[in-house]
Amino acid sequence: MPNRKIQPAIVDAIDFDLQLKPCALFTLDNGVQVYAVDAGETDVLQIEWVFYAGNFYEHKNIVAGTTNFMLKNGTHSKNAFAINEHFEYYGAYLNRACYNETATITLHCLNKHLPVLLPAVAELITDSIFPEEELAIYKQNQQQKLTVKLKKADFIASRTIDTLLYGIQHPYGIYTSHDDYKALERDELVAFYQQFYTKGKCVLFVGGKLPSNLEQQLNTSFGNLPLNSTALPAVNPVAIPATEKKHHLINDENGVQSSIRIARPFPNRHHPDFMKVQVLNTIFGGFFGSRLMSNIREDKGYTYGIHSFIQNHIQQTSWMVSTEAGRDVCDATIKEVYFEMERLRNEPVPQEELELVRNFMIGSILGDLDGPFQIIGRWKNYVLNNLTDAYFYKSIDTIKHITSAEIQALAIKYLQPDAFYELTVI
């Protein structure tokens, strides 16, 4: 029994020996791969069906996102209300989401209800009918939402900066208009669905307290489906960045706040500098104690919050600074961002600050490994990016051992103002 009169030893996060729980892999009869992490104390599961059905593969804007959204809006035997009622009756939550390269269906449920829930998910994959009346409601709702969003400077800024970085024709840079919704036809959704869902490439990720017969249950419901029977089309979009680097947009003549985006193209996870730059980014603007926050929020009071991040894209990506600031201090805010870039180029990061960032980053990873859903999420990220668990351990090693000299060299290489696109929207 511990002695409560003696204070426990304080251990820095960087002294922890972090281990990534292994991920099991098995294959269904039709070749669909299933990655599974068995962890947790309660009989709950998260199952995620990942389809290569993102907007990379659509021939017309918003077809991929609309198809994904409407998977729950009706089959030959159930309407949208019945589908939702079925999952809610068993205390389950079924969600779907569409990204650039992939689209997902995610189920959270109790293990004991899998026999009645898995067939219902299979029905959505093989028998969705995309009713005209549901599509009309969706189009109307989305146009109303878009009308509201277009009045907001931060929405305009977020989508415009992507267009500047990648080009309007690139899947990362294209954005949605009212005309896109008006031109959307049901037949386009059905064709996309049949190619990229019913017969599309699919990978499953399962986390939680796994039942002993999980493989059998998944194989019964999905092992005989025609998944992975159609080859993915070759898609190799070329980014065409804007030639002009500085842009200023007026969205509201009477607006008092501006949205600021400062960004540059950046290599993806397979580049040798990627891991080390994550440390540099954290120092620069990646957490609450970063240089940008300390200067622009705490010292100058120009904004409530400012942060920098590397976009989570699989193909090309970018390094971005994002904030909102008063219209009258917009130029001053941008000036301070470049000032902090200059400091990192010209001055080595003090050891005390570097140790703080090391502990923050390791502590964040430790938190991300707290539970089976988080662990399988990390594995999903690695699998979809063609990485292995070696990437995890190399990341830990990089955080623990990167030097101030290496960080300064990276700042000199990447934090050059001429490489960044600068956008303000009022």
Q: What is the pLDDT of residues 55-66, one digit of tens each?
A: 999 999 999 999
pLDDT confidence tier of residue 418, bands split at 50, 70 and 90: very high
Boundary-marking domain end, from 222, 237, 254: 222
Average pLDDT over residues 257-267: 96
Question: How far apart (Å, rounded) are the C-alpha atoms in residues 322 and 260?
Answer: 6
Q: What is the pLDDT of residue 64?
A: 97
Q: Based on the domain organization, do 152 and 34 belong to the same domain?
A: yes
pLDDT confidence of residue 229:
87
In a domain, 397, yes or no: yes
Distance of CA 126 to the CA centre of its chain: 27
Average pLDDT in the 89-95 region? 97
Is the confidence at residue 382, as pLDDT, over 90?
Answer: yes
Overall average pLDDT of the 257-279 stretch: 96
Residues 28 and 162 reside in one and the same domain: yes
Query: Does the structure show a pLDDT above 90 at 312?
Result: no
Band the pLDDT of 372: cuts 50, 70, 90. Answer: very high
How many domains are there within the chain? 2
The reply to whether 194 and 270 lie within a common domain is no
- Are residues 282 and 173 part of one domain? no
For residue 276, is pLDDT > 90? yes
Q: For 157-207, how does the pLDDT look when each residue is reduced to its tens digit (9 = 90+)?
A: 999 999 999 999 999 999 999 999 999 999 999 999 999 999 999 999 999
119 and 77 belong to one structural domain: yes
**Residue-averaged pLDDT of the chain:** 95
The answer to whether residue 394 is domain-embedded is yes
Find the domain containing 307 and state its range.
246-425
SS (H, E, C) the chain: CCCCCCCCCCCCHHHCCCCCCCCEEEECCCCCEEEEEECCCCCEEEEEEEECCCHHHCCCCCHHHHHHHHHHCEECCCEHHHHHHHHHHCCCEEEEEECCCCEEEEEEEEHHHHHHHHHHHHHHHHHECCCHHHHHHHHHHHHHHHHHHCCCHHHHHHHHHHHHHHCCCCCCCCCCCHHHHHCCCHHHHHHHHHHHHHCCCEEEEEEECCCCCHHHHHHHHHCCCCCCCCCCCCCCCCCCCCCCCEEEECCCCCCCEEEEEEEEEECCCCCCCHHHHHHHHHHHHHCCCCHHHHHHHHHCCCCCCEEEEECCCCCCEEEEEEEEEEHHHHHHHHHHHHHHHHHHHHCCCCHHHHHHHHHHHHHHHHHHCCCHHHHHHHHHHHHHCCCCHHHHHHHHHHHHHCCHHHHHHHHHHHCCHHHCEEEEEC
Lowest mean pLDDT among 5-14, 303-312, 380-389, 416-425: 5-14
**Residue 322: band (very low, low, confident or very high) from pLDDT cuts 50, 70, 90:** very high
- What is the average per-residue pLDDT within 237-265? 94
Q: What is the pLDDT of residue 137?
A: 96
Domain boundary among 206, 222, 238: 222
pLDDT score of 10: 76
On the question of pLDDT at 2 being above 80, the answer is: no
* More confident site: 361 or 13: 361
- Residue 292 and residue 252 share a domain: yes
Average pLDDT over residues 267-295: 96
For residue 145, count other CB atoms closer than 10 A to its CB.
10
Whole-prediction pTM value? Answer: 0.93
Task: With respect to residue 10, please indicate whether it lies within any of the assigned structural domains.
Answer: no
List the CATH number of the domain containing 397.
3.30.830.10
Is the same domain home to 120 and 186?
A: yes
Please report the pLDDT score of residue 368 as a whole number: 87
Residue 96 has pLDDT above 90, yes or no: yes
